[in-house]
Amino acid sequence: MDENILASHSLSVSETNHLIRTLIKESFYNISIVGEVSTFRPSANGHWYFKLKDEKSQLDAVMFRSAAAIAPFTPKDGDFVEVHGSIDVYEPRGSYQIVVQRITLAGVGQLLAQIQKRKEYYQSLGWFEAEGKLPIPPYPTNIGIVTATTGAAIRDMLDTTRRRAPSVDITIYPTLVQGREAASQIAAAIAHANA
């Protein structure tokens, strides 16, 4: 934009907001922002209104019904999220906001969502039902431990058991607990312990 035109011409409020909207829409198109959801408010017509904030600032956000309908979750205050969208200016008020196209949980929020999803899956299989569990005796006589045979963890478990319950028999099912092969080895060791 030619600075001389702006310097020699007074703009109306509407012209100013329109110019600002044009500049912002061109500069802040298809961006990602992370922040904490605050003042989440769903509307009756399906749009979501909220603020994204961090320790210093906040930004208004809107997710229109078409995008909200396919969101993987409904955000709530306190969720740490990553949003993808574009900044737009609402010209009549001269205010700006991010128009969100996609939203995902970020950081710890994403991890907690994965844990919750797994928990729900295992609940659907009945793994947490009382009738599917064997009762734990008040005083076990045998304990199986699936872990690596080296390291402080196994030494602590053995020392504590010998000190507090010297009559308990301990069987160790050795396995890797870190690295690429750990998951399959742990599963195999648990299956062996249950056999």
- 3 state DSSP class of 143: strand
**Plot region of 73 (φ>0 → left; ψ -120 to 50 → alpha; else → beta):** beta
Q: What is the pLDDT of residues 98-128, one digit of tens each?
A: 999 999 988 766 667 778 889 999 999 888 8
- Say what the pLDDT of residue 88 is: 95
Which pLDDT belongs to residue 130?
Answer: 84
Which positions of the chain have pLDDT values less than 50?
A: none
Give the burial class of 104: count Cβ atoms within 10 A of its Cβ; 0-12 exposed, 13-18 middle, 19 or more buried: middle
- Residue 170, CA atoms < 13 Å, CB-side half-sphere: 19
Chain-centroid distance of CA 46 in Å reads 23
For the chain, the structural domain boundaries read 3-111, 137-195
Quote the tokens at residue 78.
Answer: 């306190």
How confident is the model at residue 144, as a pLDDT? 92
Q: What is the pLDDT of residue 137?
A: 85
Question: Structure pTM?
Answer: 0.55
CATH fold of 3-111: OB fold (Dihydrolipoamide Acetyltransferase, E2P) (2.40.50)
pLDDT at 3: 59
